[in-house]
Amino acid sequence: MTKTIKQAQSNSAAADPFLWLEDRTSKQALDWVHRQNEITVGELQGDPSYRATFQTALDLMTAEDNIAVGAAINGHVYNFWQDKTNVLGLWRRTTVASYKTEKPEWETIIDFDALSAKESVKWVFGGASRLYPDFNRCLLSMSPDGGDASEMREFDIETRSFVENGFRAPASKSGFSWLDKDTVIVSAAFEEADKTQSGYPRVVKLWKRGTALEDATPIFEVEKEDLAAGAALEFDGDRRYLILARTLNFFASHIFLRLPSGENRRLPLPDDMTDSAIFRDRLVFGVRSPWTTPDGLVCKPDGLYSLDLARWVETGALGPVETLLEPAHRVSIAGIARTQDRLFISLMDNVRGKVVVCERNNRAWSLKPVALPENGNVGIAHAEHFGASVSFSFTDFLTPSSIVWSDDDGATLATVKSQPARFDASPFISEQFEARSKDGTMIPYFVVRRRDQDGPVPTLLYGYGGFEVPLLPGYAGVRGRLWLEKGNAYVQANIRGGGEFGPNWHQAALKANRQNAFDDFAAVAQDVVKRGIATPATLGIQGGSNGGLLTGVSLTQHPELFGAVIIEVPLLDMLRYTELPPGASWTAEYGDPEKPDEAAWLAAYSPYQHVSADAAYPPVLLTTSTADDRVHPGHARKMAARLQAAGHGKTLFFEETEGGHGGRGDRRPQAAQAAMKYVFLQRALSGTA
């Protein structure tokens, strides 16, 4: 085994013939990218069905009757909007009363197309931190290429202008929020000394108005090996808490409060605390693993607990911990949010959503369900921290999304927005099945197909399985029009590694247990075939980011199960992923290839090292982005090159030159990619490729 590991690591570096493709912007690498793009575009956009497919995707992505999802702040609902005219988008607002009407009267705050034309930079909106209490000043984040690194500028919403000589910082992965009108909290990642080895902020500073950014005062820092340092100002009634976080990895943090004395005092809570909120002087929190409090209460995963935070700040004593929500079988916490007077808990019950509202009176908690639709994906769309408005989203695979609004903390509900149907759902049915994985675990999955399906059809299986991220039922007009309406089926797998059933479901596929997620996905594929929904030849798979790793492993471990494979913005070289920023931030999920025992399990499945010239691989489409600063494009580039060099001629590669990891920005290239993927699937799974 040791010899195998050393050989694999050697192949991943010095002996890697495609290492040069890791140079993101070298002429040699980009020339290769352009040649690949020409082939893929010629193949897929040259298909007779492409033009209509692209136009349908673009029409749906930019439709003027799409729901304008927004959050209420101080009497206004804010929304970011893109359509065919506003390609890069409008940041805009309307009054709450107007938002509830069929045609709200929007006022534009920033027109990013106009700004981009003026400054000759394709600015992509990244959000805004607004200044309490009138929220008219904001720290605006804008990415120059759609990546995670963003420029920050101070902006005045009332005057619709950038503040002259206001706060401004160059593009980086830094974070900015207000302490007060003349002080900005900076989680800094500008210079190398300010960054962790993952490239995220290492130092928190206070930046005074009128001073240079480099003269900001450090107040907190973490180790170079940590994931990141972060900070946020939290309001709870008349109290303000400056919270500082030493994030060790994706699943562990040390939380500090900065006291008026200047002391950074650590909360004596477990590293794996999760789902936290401050409400009515209490800290509400969950845990990823069992934790016994000093007073003897056992806090369990998928439960919620609370302690007297105000008392701890004043006395340093933790005090008794209370149970707010008991854990329940196959029920997990999707998130928590608060208005001024209520706390809302979003739950997943066997991958279906519901919301509970909580009050605290007479030193006791009371909980009751919010009267929302059942048997779908229900979530909290927004909760107004300084008010009483709250909204909820509802959708499922066959029901268009809607927004249910309340101005009184969920007591009175009204559906204020409903997306029009994008396809005729009447011939289809949504079902939930279970597949038995290799170790006997039952893995739930959803199937959407025609009620009268008679025999196998082209079927798309989608999965993710990582980072506690759940895959929930959701309406997708593009998928409905371009896939389901053609008589095809769609399958969504809730494999381990995700967050569908809480921390234990995630931890069951963590690090050395990663193979469980891959086995789960294969089990679902086999069950889909067993049920007669598809055959291996008509079953395609798709996944992005960690899901790209999933589909990459599925390709190399079980090529016989699939007729087509789409690998999007993926991790694929797991023996070098920590060398490609910010890959070092994911060692808590996958393991560290520098440690021999962990390199062993990574080497056992790393797709890039397992490409075989002798395997019979189905057609493959790999996609990535030059501007992706979250998962390096080198993974997809090298995998495509290795597959092609091994003689697998049905390997296509496409790299977008902008848009970052999530494909933000202009909808046209997003529509083009969506169209190419559906053309690829239809050709491969119908036997016409």
Same domain flag for 409 and 436: no
Q: Calculate the dihedral angle through the C-alpha atoms of 409, 410, 411, 415, rounding to the nearest 10 degrees.
A: 130
Strands 203-208 and 217-221: antiparallel
Q: d(Cα 277, Cα 675) in Å, to the nearest integer?
A: 41
Number of domains in the chain: 3
Cα distances (angstroms) measured from residue 546 to each of 90, 117, 146, 656: 31, 35, 20, 19
pLDDT tens-place string over residues 360-372: 988 889 999 999 9
What Rg value do the Cα atoms of the chain yield, rounded? 25
Residue 358 shares a structural domain with residue 293: no
β-partners of residue 340 are none
Report yes or no on 673 lying in a domain: yes
Q: Which candidate in 129, 389, 545, 554 is catalytic? A: 545
How far, in Å, CA of 206 to CA of 213, rounded? Answer: 9
Q: How far is CA 533 from CA 66, 431, 446, 539, in A?
A: 32, 12, 12, 9
576 and 448 assigned to the same domain = yes
- Residue 4 CA, chain-centre distance (Å), reads 35
How far apart, in whole angstroms, are the C-alpha atoms of residue 160 and residue 158?
6
CA 79 to chain centre: 19
Q: Give the span between the Cα atoms of 636 and 24, in whole angstroms.
A: 12
For residue 623, give Cα distances in angstroms to 179, 432, 620: 41, 30, 10
Please say if 545 is a catalytic residue: yes
Going by the DSSP 8-state scheme, the letter that residue 634 receives in this structure is H
Specify whether 319 is located in the same domain as 355.
no
What pLDDT does 13 receive?
59
Please classify residue 440 by burial: count the beta carbons closer than 10 Å to its beta carbon, then call 0-12 exposed, 13-18 middle and 19+ buried.
exposed
* 188 CB-near residues (< 8 Å, 6+ apart): 172, 174, 194, 201, 202, 203, 204, 205, 216
**660 within a domain of the structure (yes/no):** yes
684 SS3 class: helix
CB atoms within 10 A of CB 252: 17
Residues 594 and 504 placed together within one structural domain of the fold: yes
Quote the pLDDT of residue 663.
57
Question: Do residues 299 and 291 lie in contact, with contact meaning Cβ atoms separated by under 8 Å?
Answer: yes
Indicate if 601 and 680 belong to the same structural domain: yes
Contact 461, 411 (CB under 8 A): no
Identify the CA nearest to 237 among candidates 428, 425, 386: 386
Question: pLDDT digits over 193-248, tens only?
Answer: 999 999 999 999 999 999 999 999 999 999 999 999 999 999 999 999 999 999 99
pTM here? 0.93
Look at residue 658 in the predicted model and tell me its pLDDT: 66
| Domain final residue pick, 364, 387, 421 | 421
Q: Domain check: are 441 and 583 in the same one?
A: yes
350: left (phi over 0), alpha (psi -120 to 50) or beta: left
Which residues of the chain are modeled with pLDDT < 50? 1-6, 8-12
Q: Using CA atoms, how far apart are residues 12 and 599, in angstroms rounded to an integer? A: 12
Q: Give a yes or no: residue 158 inside a domain.
A: no
Chain position carrying tokens 């490239």: 199
pLDDT at 687: 74
Q: Other C-beta atoms within 10 Å of 87: how many?
A: 16
Query: Does residue 12 lie in a domain region?
Result: no
Cβ atoms 370, 356 nearer than 8 A = yes
Residue 140 · residue 151 · CB < 8 Å: no
Q: Which residue, of 421, 439, 457, is where some domain finishes?
A: 421
Same-domain check for residues 475 and 396: no
| Distant-in-sequence, close-in-space partners of 209: CB < 8 Å, separation ≥ 6 | 166, 167, 181, 182, 183
Instruction: From 392, 421, 450, give the residue that closes a domain.
Output: 421
Residue 225 lies in a domain: no
d(CA 156, CA 138): 7
- Do residues 645 and 615 lie in contact, with contact meaning Cβ atoms separated by under 8 Å? no
Is residue 501 one of the residues assigned to a domain?
Answer: yes
Tokens at residue 158, please? 């009332």
Neighbours of 366 (CB within 10 A): 10
Residue owning tokens 């990546």: 147
Cα dist. 614→57, 58, 648 in Å? Answer: 38, 40, 10
The pLDDT value given to residue 3:
46
Looking at the structure, do residues 389 and 436 belong to the same domain, yes or no?
no
**322 and 334 together in one domain:** no
Same domain, 281 and 351: no
In this prediction, residue 363 carries a pLDDT of 84
Widest CA span of the chain, in angstroms? 72
**pLDDT tens for each residue of 565-592:** 999 999 999 999 999 988 889 999 999 9
CB 286 within 8 A of CB 275: yes
Beta strands in 157-260 (DSSP E): 161-162, 168-172, 175-180, 183-188, 203-208, 217-221, 228-236, 239-249, 252-258
Q: Is residue 122 part of a domain?
A: no
Answer yes or no: do 353 and 440 share one domain: no
Residues 6+ apart with CB under 8 A from 42: none
What CATH number should be reported for the domain holding residue 455? 3.40.50.1820
Give residue 147's Cα distance to chain centre: 14
Indicate whether 672 belongs to any domain.
yes
d(CA 21, CA 251): 31
What is the Cα–Cα distance from 465 to 488, expressed in whole angstroms? 24
CA distance 354 to 572: 36
- Count the alpha carbons within 13 Å of 568 in the hemisphere toward its beta carbon: 18
Full domain range(s) for residue 375? 329-421
Query: 204: closest CA among 138, 259, 272, 258?
Result: 258
